[in-house]
Amino acid sequence: MIDGRENKSKECDFMKVKKILVSMFLLFLVLCLKSNVSTAAEVSTMERLDYWDITKEYTVAEQDVTYHTYLSKDKKESWIFKADLLNKEKMLDIIIPQKIENAPVVMLGFISEFYNIYVPKLKIPGWDDKNMEEWEGYITFFGDIIEPWHGVTPQKVNVNKIIMPDSVETIGKAAFSYVSSLKYVYLSKQIKEINEFVFVGCKNLEKIDFPISVQILGTKVFQGCKKLAGLNHETKNLKNDTLTFSGNMVINQTEKTLIQVMPDAKKITIPKSVKWIEPTAFKNTSIKTLKVSKKNKYFAVHKRCLYRKAEKELVYVFGKGSTLTLSKKIKEISEDVVVTKAKLKKLIISHKVKRYNNWKKPFVKNNKKIKIYYRGKKIH
């Protein structure tokens, strides 16, 4: 009898364990399904090819530009995926039409699913044939194919200004990249998503109106925009899952990157979340007071110098004063250093600093008559 009870007890224990394991497995399947659903939901409706009727293309010519367009299947929205410049020698101010076939324009440039069908593989100089086939390009709004990492760039496009209608919600990848003549962009007040590389390489871009509607900002959107002084904002209270505008700074929360400091900022505190600062973030600024959160593991401030902790590399020189003795905590200076517009007359650099080509350039740029001393000797 005892053996029988023990056997029954063991059977009951086994069944309990079995039920627990089955329950855990079912829970795992449910979580996986939810994960797949949420991933699919991240792609907006208008970024799926099945939302659009790509069997019929509409072309509209306006002011020296021909726009290539698809309509949504319900014909309520339009998507301009490419624009041809009819006069490539003339410098143009492009005003993108608000409607095509009476359907509001909601998207510009190419979308992710489009690449899988239309973008050929690019041959990258210096790579063998096998590896060359692995690199995909990006189609710009003007129909060129680029590859931003390896210098494969489009032909020259003469566009001075781009003005978008307020109906536009999405800009596709690399849409306006490497338009070197571009100086001003007016973004739609309804813009929600700006994908990666949209303005990369726009080296003469000076001004962009940046609305509060932006929810998604891709990586390296403003890389190479050397003249972009700042982003004109409608508000100083922008905050969402990706982008935060706070304390006169634009921060990409996903990349933990400080993208831009407003030119009129006089006092800022870099939060603990920032891991990287774009080289152009402080361009054309005149900050008097700069602090870094004590919990930030990557940056610190000492004697008017913002520097990276790990490399001990100088990032930004701020504040007033005609004489600056560079902090002894600094060991590296690169030509990407940004120096405040405040006039420096004398700079004393510690012997601990390593010398690099053109490392004097940022100090001399805004202070032509500056005197620079290194290891006790005047070097400029």
Q: 3-class secondary structure for 326-376? A: CCCCCCECCCCCEECCCCCCEEEECCCCECCCCCCHHHHHCCCCCEEEECC
Residue owning tokens 């009819």 = 86
Q: Which one is predicted more confidently, 188 or 324?
A: 188
- 300, pLDDT greater than 90: yes
* CA–CA distance, 273 with 196 (Å, rounded to integer): 21
Residue 211 confidence (pLDDT):
79
* CA–CA distance, 176 with 202 (Å, rounded to integer): 8
Instruction: Determine the length of the chain.
Output: 380
pTM of the model: 0.63
Phi, psi of 303 (to 5 degrees): 50, 60
Lowest mean pLDDT among 141-150, 157-166, 305-314: 141-150
Residue 76 confidence (pLDDT):
95
* CA–CA distance, 306 with 249 (Å, rounded to integer): 16
Topology at the third CATH level for domain 45-228:
3.80.10
The percent of residues above 90 in pLDDT, for the chain, comes to: 27
Per-position DSSP letters for 112-144, written without gaps between them: HHHHHHHPPB-PPTTS-HHHHTT-B-EE-TTS-
Q: Three-state SS string across 224-293, please? A: CCCCCCCEEECCCCCECCCEEEECCEEEECCCCEEEEECCCCCEEEECCCCCEECCCCCCCCCCCEEEEC
CA nearest 100: which of 140, 70, 66, 143? 70
pLDDT digits (tens, 9 = 90+) for 193-202: 888 889 888 8
Residue owning tokens 């949209």 = 198
**Sorting pLDDT into bands at 50, 70 and 90, what band is 228?**
confident
Q: Which one is predicted more confidently, 132 or 184?
A: 184
Compute CA 130 distance to the chain's CA centroid, rounded to the nearest angstrom: 30
Lowest mean pLDDT among 107-121, 266-280, 334-348: 107-121
